[in-house]
Amino acid sequence: MSTALISSVRAALSTVDDPEIRRPITELGMVESVEVDEFGAAAVRVLLTVAGCPMKAQLTRDVTAAVSRVDGVTSVDVTLGVMTDAQRGELRQTLRGDAPANEIPFAQPGSRTRVYAVASGKGGVGKSSVTVNLAASLAARGLSVGVLDADIYGFSVPRMLGVTGKPTQVDQMIMPPIAHDVKVISIGMFTPGNTAVVWRGPMLHRALQQFLADVFWGDLDVLLMDLPPGTGDIAISVAQLVPSAELLVVTTPQLAAREVAERAGSIALQTHQQIVGVVENMSWLDLPDGSRMELFGSGGGQAVADSLAASTGTRVPLLGQIPIDQSVREGGDNGAPVVLTAPNSPAAQAMGKVADALAARQRSLVGKSLGLTPVR
C-alpha cells in the first residue's frame, strides 16, 4: 500500500463536508479507515453520526466523487458505519467545545451572529413569507443563515422552504435540516403530521430555549426567528433568552394591521430591544395596464415605522414595500422562495432590497448596547 496515495486520499476526504454539520468529515472523526491496494482500489469507511442519518446517500456520493479524482485511484468503495456513543461525545466536544449544555451561543458576549426576530401584530400579513425569503436571499449572498420557526401555533416555515427531512440528534445536539443553504428548525418537525400545538407559556419558553441552545447552528452570520403574531409570551421569551435580538416588524398597509403591528413593535420598549425596521407587505397589486391597485390601502408601513420611532426614540426605517404577487404565494406553497425562482419579479426585488439592508449592517454594532434609553 502506498502511503503517499493514502495521504492523497485523506487530503481528498478533507474536502468533503458533512452535509448537515458543514465541516470536513476528517475533522469530525467520521473517517474510520482508508485503504488503497496495489491496483489503486480505494476502500473508505465512513462513520455516520447516527444510524438513520438522512444524508447517507449524499455522503457516499461526495466521498466517492472526491476520492475518484485522486491520481492513482482506480476505484472507490465506500462503506458506512455508525459512531459509538463515545465517538459522538467526542464530536460534540469538537463542535461545542466546553460550552455548557443549555448555553445559548447567540446570547454570549462576542457572538457575531445578528439575530432578527420577525414580528407582526396579526396573522396572515406575510411574516413567514418575508422570513423565508429574507433567509434565502441572505444565504444566496453567501451569508451563513439559520431560521428558527418560533411561530409555535402556526408553523409554516418548513413547507415554505421545502424542508421535508427531520432533524437528527447527535449526543444532545439537534442537527437542523438545510434547505436552500438555510438551516431550519421548527416545532413542526417534532409533531406528527399537522397536529396543532396547544402549549402554554412555560412550555413555549422551554421549547425556544432548547431550539436556541441544543440545535447545532454552527457559525451563523444571521439567525431569523419567525415569531407568532401578536405580543405574546414568545416575544418576551426571545427578549429574555437573546437580549441582543432585534425586531423586524412586518405589517400590511391596512389600518387594523398597522395598529396591532405598532403594539407588537412597542414590546421593544418594555424589553429594551432594538427595532431594525419595518417591512410593508401586500403593498399593492400591479395590474396588467401598469396601474397599481392598493387593495389594503396605503401608507401603513411608513406609519408604523414613524410611530415606533416616536415611541422608542430611535430611528426606525421602512425597509421595503413588497407588492402582492402570485409567485410569492406559489413559492411558499412549493417550498421554493420567490427570491430564488423569480429573482427579477418586483416582489423578489423588494425582498432582496430588505435583505441588502440587513446584510450591510455592521456586525460590530450587533450585540452591543448602543446606550440609548427609550423615550417613554
Cβ proximity to ligand ADP: between 87 and 281 the closer is 281
Nearest approach, Cβ of 330 to ligand ADP (angstroms)? Answer: 8
The contacts of residue 267 (CB under 8 Å, 6+ apart) are: 119, 231, 235, 236, 239, 247, 273
Residues between 276 and 335 with contacts to ligand ADP, criterion CB under 6 A: 281-282, 322, 324-325, 328-329, 332
Nearest approach, Cβ of 286 to ligand ADP (angstroms)? Answer: 11
Cβ proximity to ligand ADP: between 156 and 312 the closer is 156
Residues between 122 and 151 with contacts to ligand ADP, criterion CB under 6 A: 123-129
Nearest approach, Cβ of 323 to ligand ADP (angstroms)? Answer: 6
Residues between 344 and 373 with contacts to ligand ADP, criterion CB under 6 A: 347
Nearest approach, Cβ of 281 to ligand ADP (angstroms)? Answer: 5
Residues between 161 and 200 with contacts to ligand ADP, criterion CB under 6 A: none
Cβ proximity to ligand ADP: between 179 and 322 the closer is 322
Cβ proximity to ligand ADP: between 138 and 282 the closer is 282
Cβ proximity to ligand ADP: between 136 and 324 the closer is 324
Stretch that binds ligand ADP, among 107-115, 116-124, 173-181, 208-216 (CB under 6 A): 116-124
CA 124 → CA 32, 224, 339, distances in Å?
50, 18, 20
CA 238 to centroid of chain Cα atoms? 15
Q: Which amino acid is at 97?
A: G
Between CA 194 and CA 155 the distance in angstroms is 9
Strand 246-251 and strand 114-120: the pairing is parallel
225 and 252 Cβ atoms separated by less than 8 Å: no
Look-up: residue for cell 450585540? 367
> Nearest CA to 253 among 287, 303, 290, 293?
303
Q: Enumerate the H helices of the chain as residue ranges.
A: 3-13, 56-68, 85-96, 127-140, 157-161, 201-213, 233-241, 255-271, 300-312, 326-334, 338-341, 346-359
- Per CB under 6 A, residues contacting ligand ADP are 120, 123-129, 154, 156, 281-282, 322, 324-325, 328-329, 332, 347
